[in-house]
């Protein structure tokens, strides 16, 4: 990953805790609301789905697109954020 957003850096710098779903890189207010409406109200719930999908990028991107309508950039930002967080904390 060549460049990461400030949001990404802040997310991967510390344990997950009770962070809101829109703390994830690539997930803003609109996508966050869509995810919350489907029961994914916290970043750790999205992390759970990421792990259920065995950290598979294609499966996670497809799930994110189907679940909240994330575009290619948003999918990649969120995947990279969770992947780096897992590398640091799991």
Mean model confidence pLDDT for the chain: 95
pLDDT above 80 for 25:
yes
Q: Is residue 56 part of a domain?
A: yes
Q: Is residue 32 part of a domain?
A: yes
Tokens of 31: 């996508």
CATH of the domain at 83: 1.10.150.40
Of the candidates 73, 87, 62, the one whose C-alpha atom is nearest the C-alpha of residue 28 is 73
Q: Is residue 1 part of a domain?
A: no
Q: Is residue 42 part of a domain?
A: yes
Mean pLDDT of 41-69: 98
Task: Name the percent of the chain lying above pLDDT 70.
Answer: 97
Q: How many domains does the chain have?
A: 1
pTM confidence score: 0.94
Q: Is residue 23 part of a domain?
A: yes
User: Which pLDDT band, with edges at 50, 70 and 90, does 1 fall under?
Assistant: very low
Mean pLDDT of 61-82: 98
Q: Is residue 16 part of a domain?
A: yes
> Could you tell me where the DSSP H helices lie in 1-90?
6-12, 29-37, 43-52, 57-68, 72-89
- Residue 84 belongs to domain spanning: 6-89
């Amino acid at each position: 990953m060549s460049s990461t957003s400030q949001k990404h850096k802040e997310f991967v710098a510390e344990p997950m805790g009770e962070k809101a779903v829109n703390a994830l890189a690539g997930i803003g207010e609109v996508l966050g609301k869509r995810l919350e409406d489907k029961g994914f109200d916290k970043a750790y719930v999205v992390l759970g789905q990421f792990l259920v999908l065995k950290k598979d990028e294609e499966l996670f991107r497809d799930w994110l697109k189907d679940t909240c309508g994330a575009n290619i950039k948003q999918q990649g930002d969120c995947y990279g954020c969770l992947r780096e967080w897992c590398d640091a904390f799991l």
